[in-house]
Structure 1
Amino acid sequence: MTSPDEPHDVSSGVSSGAPATGAHGLGPHVVGTRVVVRRLVPGETGPTGGPAFTDVLGVAETWWPDLVVRREDGTAVTVPHALIVSGKPVPPRASRLQHVPGGEVQRRVRGLWPGETAALGDWLLQVSPPHEGRVRRRASSVLAYGSPDRPLGEALAAIQDWYAARDRRPELCVAVGSAEETALRAEGWTEPADFAGHAVAVQVGSVARLRRALGASPHTAATGTVATEHGPVAGAAPDVERVRVSVTASGDRIATGLADLRGDWACVHDVRTDAAYRRTGLARRIVAGLLDEVAERGVTTVVLHVLTTNDPALALYAGLGFEEHHTATYLGPPR
């Protein structure tokens, strides 16, 4: 059965019982977003003889019991609520990756998966074998960015024939708000029943910038030992490599994550933490380890997919410095 991508099992530092304080309007809702905060500096006097203030700019990682802001250089600043003078969310800093077309970002990821592909103009048809017992939408759907090489009705008929010959139901991946989405919905294509209410945030990051923000990653975690494995991906192109970083405790794997890489791009996926060990920083440690491994292999850009309904994962990746490139959804034929 096909299932939504990506149900990362992570959690953030949000505490729903922690209200915003003062008139600044900051609160749990800013976790995972970029903020600027003006704070009092206790015991110091400002240039005019009054209280001293300082500004902190970075991504809010937790709100309760204190606001923690991680600067771009990787340092974390703890700001007690009582010292906050003012603050507000600010737009993320633009990066070169935002100028890369969505179709190119998605094709970089598609090139990592094993299976069969076929081109239909700009569109890419793909089927991949099940991964851990489930068919992944992002590896077994049509990447519909750009234009097919024929009228839309003919293209959709060819797609349905191609997937029927492989005993699969066709689904098309489109950018939300795109001309392709509008045209397909006009033809009656809608989200499959098991994807209704979902969308996928396609997130990107510069490996160098992410690693600077994360700082050095030790070979041990507070609750276990970190190990890495790497090797080829069965059925994929010969130059595709897979890296796994895992944390074990008492002989059991309690957290894990994968990164598939080719050339200077990689895709992070399947970051998971055992339920008993969530909220202990293991997901952050796994991603840091994956970034270290892919950097050693020459990767400069990393991509990941997260369901827009997965608030803990979105907060984690925003706190690490990932940027949302665009949002995608999947559409299936009229029922």
Structure 2
Amino acid sequence: MEISAAGRLEVRITTADVGKRVSVRSLIEHGPSGEKFTDTVGVLTSWDNGVLRITRKSGESVRVAESSLVAGKVVPSAPARRRGPAASYEELARVSARAWRPVESERLGEWELRAAVGEVPRDGGPPGRSAPGERPPGVVAGRRAGFTRRANSALPLGDPGVPLDEALTAVRGWYAARGLPAYVQTTTGAEGAQEPLCAELERRGWVREVTAELWVGPLAPVADPGGEPSGVVLSREADEAWLSRYRRTGVSEAALRVLHSGPSVWFATVPGGPGAPAAIGRCVVDGRWAGFAAVEVDPARRRRGLATAVMAALARRALDEGASAAWLQVEDGNAGARALYDRMGFAAHHAYHHYRAPESSAPVGDGAL
């Protein structure tokens, strides 16, 4: 907090600081254990009618009454990360987008509208292979869904070329034409990230769903976890066995196209005898980056090092292709995965969020990330 030479706390921010990262202290009426103050750090996204709106690194929007301010100051745009390769959020947003390529896309200025929609199998399992234009066996006619929000949301990485309201109208219309809810993916918690856009979306009634974090780390330690992994089979294709362990339901032909998309895609499988494999994983190699996803382990075989073995095998292949850094995405509530990735040397780089248009219905099919 800002302290004057006389030892008093001072408010040293004004409405001119909207868009900057600030730290404020404010009075609270009924704090726990008799506390009288609370501190808020984040981007000052608005200051209107006596109310400040501050967006935290997590994406949470906090309202602070101007009359309750005790102290405040502008702080550096982003704290130093604990560890991991240096990268901007925009670089990582583009790399992660290439790892989940949509089936179709369209440009709106510097925004990319992305969609991967397909028909969902009746039984929720992977569809059988079929000839072009032929409905795969087990698929219900007319039941369509987008596979993963990452491939079914607008990615705003600059100026859409039109006013925001006009851009959002175009986004809603584009997704409505495809039978999908309209989503915009935003980023918070990194230098130059999109806290102001988050605040504008919320002001217009867009609903924030599925907050997750993108973590980064050096690749070499992942490839050398301290033991020699064995029994991991690598392939360029997600076969029926791999898909039987994948936790997503309703894997459509569009979903298969997304899973196989990316500059250099590898799938890892640990055979488990009859039935589904003991563990699986996916890695996309893109220049210096190796992106890990879909690391799934049979619940009955967890805590045996299988996830570590899968990632090590994929990391060694990525090193062979020239990668040196790693990234992955993890949802907020996945405590087990977060603990594993922390031990492997990963650290959070930024948070990202999917905002759904207020008039859009909930998605059909896969709703994660």
TM range (shorter): 0.5 to 0.7
Taking structure 1 as the reference length, the TM-score comes to 0.62
State percent identity of aligned pairs. Answer: 28
Tell me whether 1:203 sits opposite 2:190 in the alignment: no
C-alpha distance in structure 2 between counterparts of 1:183 and 1:285, whole Å: 43
How far residue 105 of structure 1 moved from its aligned partner, in angstroms, is 0.6
Q: 1:119 aligns with which of 107, 122, 144?
A: 107
Letter in structure 2 aligned against 1:108? V
Letter in structure 2 aligned against 1:241? S
Q: 1:183 aligns with which of 176, 181, 200?
A: 200
How far residue 94 of structure 1 moved from its aligned partner, in angstroms, is 3.4
Consecutive unaligned residues in structure 2, runs of 5 or more: 1-79, 121-125, 127-144, 190-194, 239-255, 360-369
C-alpha distance in structure 1 between counterparts of 2:102 and 2:81, whole Å: 34
Alignment of 1:1-335 (within 5 A): 93-97=82-86, 100-112=87-99, 113-129=101-117, 135-176=147-188, 178-191=195-208, 195=209, 198-211=210-223, 214-215=225-226, 217-218=228-229, 220=230, 225-230=231-236, 234=257, 240-252=263-275, 253-335=277-359
C-alpha distance in structure 2 between counterparts of 1:236 and 1:320, whole Å: 24
Partner of 1:41: none
Structure 1 contact 188–334 (Cα < 8 Å) conserved:
yes
Structure 1 contact 144–180 (Cα < 8 Å) conserved:
no
How far residue 209 of structure 1 moved from its aligned partner, in angstroms, is 4.6
Structure 1 contact 306–313 (Cα < 8 Å) conserved:
yes
Q: How many residues align?
A: 232
How far residue 134 of structure 1 moved from its aligned partner, in angstroms, is 6.2
CA deviations over 1:24-58 (Å, ceiling 9, x no partner): xxxxxxxxxxxxxxxxxxxxxxxxxxxxxxxxxxx
CA deviations over 1:142-188 (Å, ceiling 9, x no partner): 11243321110000011111112222111011113611111111111
How far residue 262 of structure 1 moved from its aligned partner, in angstroms, is 3.0
C-alpha distance in structure 2 between counterparts of 1:290 and 1:307, whole Å: 21
Residues 235/209 of structure 1: CA separation in 2 closer, same or farther (3 Å cut): closer
Taking structure 2 as the reference length, the TM-score comes to 0.57
Structure 2 contact 103–258 (Cα < 8 Å) conserved:
yes
Partner SS, residue 321 of structure 1:
coil
Structure 1 contact 103–146 (Cα < 8 Å) conserved:
no
Consecutive unaligned residues in structure 1, runs of 5 or more: 1-90
C-alpha distance in structure 1 between counterparts of 2:261 and 2:281, whole Å: 21
Partner of 1:79: none
More contact order relative to length (CA 8 Å, sep ≥ 6): 1
RMSD of aligned Cα (Å): 2.7
